[in-house]
Amino acid sequence: MADDQPVRVPRAGPDAPVLVPVVWPDTGQDTVTLDLPGNGKDEKAIALRLTDIPVVEE
């Protein structure tokens, strides 16, 4: 897949949630911020920032 191509996320319907599983080391915090990188042409570009994500243990 080329860096400038959009990522298509399959969904059950227009109001269905999009689940993005992410794994990272324990930061010791109650919440984290997740930055999804941009198109790859600008290394500082952020396509999406999710904030205040609760940290849970499974």
Higher local confidence (pLDDT), 13 or 20: 13
Structure tokens of 8? 């298509």
54 pLDDT exceeds 70? Answer: yes
CA distance 9 to 57: 25
In a domain, 7, yes or no: no
In a domain, 14, yes or no: no
pTM score: 0.51
In a domain, 54, yes or no: yes
Structure tokens of 20? 């993005």
- Compute the Cα dihedral for 33, 34, 39, 40 and give only its sign: positive
In a domain, 6, yes or no: no
In a domain, 45, yes or no: yes
How many domains, in total, are found in the chain? 1
Higher local confidence (pLDDT), 46 or 55: 55
What pLDDT digit, counting tens, does each position of 24-45 carry?
Answer: 788 889 998 888 777 666 666 7
In a domain, 35, yes or no: yes
In a domain, 12, yes or no: no
2 pLDDT exceeds 60? Answer: no
